[in-house]
Amino acid sequence: MKNIYGLTLQDLENYFLEIGSKKFHAEQLFRWLYEKRIESFEEVTNIKKEIIDIIKNDYSISRLSIVDIQEDVDVCKYLFELEDKEHIEAVLMRHDYGNSVCISSQVGCNMGCKFCESGRRKKVRNLETYEMVLQLLMIEKLLGERISHVVVMGIGEPFDNYDNLIHFFEIINHPKGMAIGARHITVSTCGVVPKILEFSEFPLQINLAISLHAPNNMIRNQIMPINKVYPLEELIPAIKTYLEKTNRRVTFEYILLKDINDSEQCAVDLAKLIHNINCYVNLIPYNETNNLEYKRTNNIQIMRFYDILKKNNVNVTIRKEFGGNISAACGQLRSKKEDL
Ligand code: SAH
């Protein structure tokens, strides 16, 4: 049975018309779900019982199970079990500006980035829209506080699950839904060019981050197989098109991997590659994992890399690290339950 948390307000309106009911019930039900946070259709008091019975026949309102929670200072990792017993993770980060949650978009990932722990498990399936929505709803409930920021940077390649992702954005951004501001939502892609172009037509002002991680094709091909499909000479123009159409900025994520992409020449080349792009660069200290041989660049070299970018007028920051102690850091989202 389909799950009610996968429907946008528009979908709900169409549904009410289809079952011969009134369109305005859609907004009422949407508010029950996202403002009042009901957990059973019985709690709805302003829609006739006969109609509720029809809905109950067509849609489930069930939630996901949370089977493990690991907490550390300012960070908390949640392990969810899906209806088909697959597992995914989401991470809550407490910032001074609010609560940010990093969600997963797929079970496993097929992009095969060499340095990424969560991609070692191949994609089993896409997450349904409701499974993305419920990661947020359930964390908010446990927390008893609002989530102010959402990043789609957990397990999976969100642009390999584009349609469900877009519906997810429409639901969580809607002022009558969870009302999370578009500018507080970020999606990160390894560089799926056709979807970047499609996303440039999407009306909500959601932030786009690109996992760049290399200043040239030679290095990028070594560590990110997607680059063989969409090399930099396609990726960079696609990003420029996105910027022209949306008038926004893009964030480039750049993990610093010892002796792979962290030389001073790499910093110079990176500055050249992006010199006329309206962007931020986010330098990410690599989180080492036991299973992969990549090493983290030391702090002195990170600062050198940073300084070269600064000197070349790049807007650059070094990412604050969260969750290293509980394997909740970037690229480490993979539960011990499913260890390979
Ligand atoms: N597939 C998307 C989103 C998920 S990965 C993407 O590639 O952008 C989120 C970010 O974490 C990416 O920038 C990814 O390259 C980075 N990452 C992966 N493994 C990491 C690790 N071990 N340490 C630091 N960042 C890592």
Q: Are 84 and 16 members of one domain?
A: no
Q: Are 139 and 276 members of one domain?
A: yes
The pair of structure tokens assigned to 43 is 């709690």
Evaluate: CB of 297 within 6 angstroms of ligand 1: no
Q: Are 29 and 83 members of one domain?
A: no
Give the domain range for residue 49.
2-60
For residue 142, the one-letter residue type is L
Evaluate: CB of 287 within 6 angstroms of ligand 1: yes
Count: domains in the chain: 2
Evaluate: CB of 322 within 6 angstroms of ligand 1: no
One-letter-per-residue 3-state SS of the chain: CEEHHHCCHHHHHHHHHHCCCCCHHHHHHHHHHHCCCCCCHHHCCCCCHHHHHHHHHHEECCCCEEEEEEEECCEEEEEEECCCCCEEEEEEEEECCEEEEECCCEECCCCCCCCCCHHHCCCCEECCHHHHHHHHHHHHHHHCCCCCEEEECCCCCHHHCHHHHHHHHHHHHCCCCCCCCHHHEEEEECCCHHHHHHHCCCCCCCEEEEECCCCCHHHHHHHCCHHHHCCHHHHHHHHHHHHHHHCCCEEEEEEEECCCCCCHHHHHHHHHHCCCCCEEEEEEECCCCCCCCCCECCHHHHHHHHHHHHHCCCEEEECCCCCHHHCCCCCCCCCHHHCC
Q: Are 131 and 36 members of one domain?
A: no
Q: What is the mean pLDDT of residues 190-212?
A: 98
Q: Where does a domain end: 36, 60, 84?
A: 60
Does residue 180 register a pLDDT over 90? yes
Query: pLDDT (tens digit, 9 = 90+) per residue, 263-277?
Result: 999 999 999 999 999
- The per-residue pLDDT for 209 is 98
What separation in Å is there between the alpha carbon of 45 and the centre of ligand 1? Answer: 45
Query: pLDDT (tens digit, 9 = 90+) per residue, 65-74?
Result: 999 999 998 9
Which residue(s) pair with 80 in the sheet? 66, 88
Q: Are 329 and 213 members of one domain?
A: yes
Q: Are 98 and 51 members of one domain?
A: no
Q: What is the mean pLDDT of residues 133-149?
A: 97
Query: Looking at 89, 117, 170, 253, which residue is catalytic?
Result: 89
What separation in Å is there between the alpha carbon of 113 and the centre of ligand 1? Answer: 8
What separation in Å is there between the alpha carbon of 286 and the centre of ligand 1? Answer: 9
What separation in Å is there between the alpha carbon of 254 and the centre of ligand 1? Answer: 9
- Which of 153, 192, 282 for mutating ligand 1's site (highest number of atoms within 8 Å of CB)? 153
330 catalytic? Reply is yes
Which atom of ligand 1 has the smallest separation from the CA of 188?
8
CATH of residue 168's domain is 3.20.20.70
Which atom of ligand 1 has the smallest separation from the CA of 213?
15
Instruction: List phi, psi (to 5°) of 324.
Output: -55, -35
Q: Are 35 and 86 members of one domain?
A: no
Among 64-78, 245-259, 316-330, which stretch is predicted with the lowest mean pLDDT? 316-330
116 catalytic? Reply is no
- The per-residue pLDDT for 332 is 74
Q: Are 105 and 208 members of one domain?
A: yes
Q: Are 243 and 333 members of one domain?
A: yes
Q: Using 50, 70 and 90 to split pLDDT, how confident is the model at 340?
A: very low
Q: Using 50, 70 and 90 to split pLDDT, how confident is the model at 338?
A: low
Q: Are 78 and 52 members of one domain?
A: no
Q: What is the mean pLDDT of residues 100-104?
A: 97
Q: How far does the chain reach from its first CA to its final CA, in angstroms? A: 31
What separation in Å is there between the alpha carbon of 205 and the centre of ligand 1? Answer: 22
Q: What is the mean pLDDT of residues 283-304?
A: 93
Query: pLDDT (tens digit, 9 = 90+) per residue, 148-161?
Result: 999 999 999 999 99
What separation in Å is there between the alpha carbon of 330 and the centre of ligand 1? Answer: 6
Evaluate: CB of 164 within 6 angstroms of ligand 1: no
- The per-residue pLDDT for 58 is 97
Q: Where does a domain end: 60, 92, 110?
A: 60
Q: Are 49 and 196 members of one domain?
A: no
CA distance 268 to 280: 15
| Among protein residues, the one whose CA lies closest to atom 15 of ligand 1 | 211
Q: Percent of the chain, pLDDT > 70?
A: 98
CATH of residue 55's domain is 1.10.150.530
Q: Are 88 and 135 members of one domain?
A: yes
Does residue 183 register a pLDDT over 70? yes
Instruction: List phi, psi (to 5°) of 38.
Output: -65, 160
- Which of 284, 291, 297 for mutating ligand 1's site (highest number of atoms within 8 Å of CB)? 284
| Among protein residues, the one whose CA lies closest to atom 18 of ligand 1 | 331
Q: Where does a domain end: 10, 38, 60?
A: 60
CA distance 12 to 222: 46
